[in-house]
Amino acid sequence: MSVSLLAARGLDYRYPGGITALRDLHLTVRQGRKLAILGANGSGKTTLLLHLNGTLRPARGEIRLDDHPAAYDRRSLDRWRCRVGLVLQEPDDQIFAATVEQDVSFGPLNLGLSEREVRERVASALRALHIADLAARATHSLSFGQKKRVAIAGVLAMRPELLVLDEPTAGLDGQGVAHLLEALQHLHEAGATLVFSTHDVELAYAWADDIALFHEGTVLGQGEALAVLRDREMMRKARLAPPLLLEVVEALDGARGDSPPRARAEVLDLLRKRLKGAPLAS
């Protein structure tokens, strides 16, 4: 069992105006895992993520860091945000400097690092997202997908232990999603813990280790991705259909197997093997 890096215990949150966004929400982020915050629109995903780096403060309950209650004074928040980097859904809400290099440098400069260290971090963050060639570009001239990568690079340059991403694949085309996931996978393999929100069950099936299933501001259940996605009753309650790939695998192989194929190519291979010899529908 890996260590709990960050946890939410009994969070309640209400927006000014009276909308209750979180209610008695419990969640654990385990070190070294990829956790999907999976839920329909309006289920409270973004609100929860804003609690994970102290941007919002719960009305009731607490965030625990390394199993200690988080504190909200300036110094504690600064330390917290060095460890937990949040990438907002809209890159325009995150990017504000004139050029890519300036934008990605901003965080590390604020940490008071030497110029050399800042340069090194910026270069390595840009390389990790495959956007080294954009360094001198004006941020306002970038495409949405490029901006998304710049926003992630800016957080990455802070070298957080935990990278939190709000709907990282939203608005990207197929190739953009593939490139982004590849970059995030490298970061994960280099030791980063990842938390990402999504309403995309296929993404959660293909990519998450664990899933916390959200519904109306609370977590219906958290566990290994496959166990959560196979819980039809809980998925129905969350108003989500099961992933098509999982349904295909189960139709071919029954509900057996602890590690069914998750990648599209593997599922297609399985399908082809099963169809060999069998007549194809015309």
Ligand X SMILES: Nc1ncnc2c1ncn2[C@@H]1O[C@H](COP(=O)(O)OP(=O)(O)O)[C@@H](O)[C@H]1O
Please give the residue ranges that form the binding site for Mg ion (CB under 5 A). Answer: 45-46
42 binds, among ligand X, Mg ion, none (CB under 5 to 8 A by kind): ligand X
Binding site for ligand X (CB under 6 A): 15, 17, 19, 21, 39, 41-47
Alpha helices, DSSP H only, in the chain?
45-52, 74-83, 100-110, 115-128, 144-156, 174-189, 201-207, 225-229, 232-237, 244-253, 264-275
User: Which of Mg ion, ligand X, none does residue 43 bind to, with CB < 5 to 8 Å depending on kind?
Assistant: ligand X
Closest to ligand X by CB, 41 vs 114, is 41
Nearest distance, CB of residue 49 and Mg ion, angstroms: 8
Rounded to the nearest whole angstrom, what is the least distance from the CB of residue 89 to Mg ion in the complex? 6
How many Å apart are CA 234 and CA 168, to the nearest integer?
24
Least distance in Å: CB of 88 to Mg ion?
Answer: 10
Single out the residue of 173, 168, 170, 175 nearest to residue 153, CA to CA.
Answer: 168
Closest approach, Cβ 208 to Mg ion, in A, equals 17
Nearest CB to ligand X, comparing residues 43 and 193: 43
Written as one letter, the residue type at 149 is R
Query: Cβ atoms within 10 A of the Cβ of 264, count?
Result: 13
Nearest to 257 by CA among 281, 280, 232, 227: 227
Partner in contact with 47, chosen from ligand X, Mg ion, none, beta carbon below 5 to 8 Å by kind: ligand X
Residue 124 partner contact from Mg ion, ligand X, none using kind-dependent CB cut-offs of 5 to 8 Å: none
Q: How far apart are the first and last CA of the chain?
A: 49
Exposure b/e, 157-166, CB count within 10 A at least 16 = b = bbbbebbbbb
17 or 112: CB nearest ligand X? 17
Q: Which is nearer to Mg ion, 55 or 76 (CB)?
A: 55
Least CB distance to Mg ion at residue 196 (A): 11
In the complex, least distance from residue 49 CB atom to ligand X, rounded to whole angstroms: 8
Distance of CA 262 to the CA centre of its chain: 18
C-beta of 47 vs 218, nearer to ligand X:
47
Contact between residue 193 and residue 31 where contact means Cβ atoms under 8 Å apart: yes
The residue length of the chain stands at 282
- Least Å distance between CB 32 and Mg ion? 25
Q: Which is nearer to Mg ion, 45 or 121 (CB)?
A: 45
Query: What is the greatest pairwise CA distance in the chain?
Result: 68
Q: How far is CA 125 from the centre of its chain?
A: 18
Nearest to Mg ion of 121, 215 (CB atom): 215
Nearest alpha carbon to residue 6 among 60, 83, 76: 83
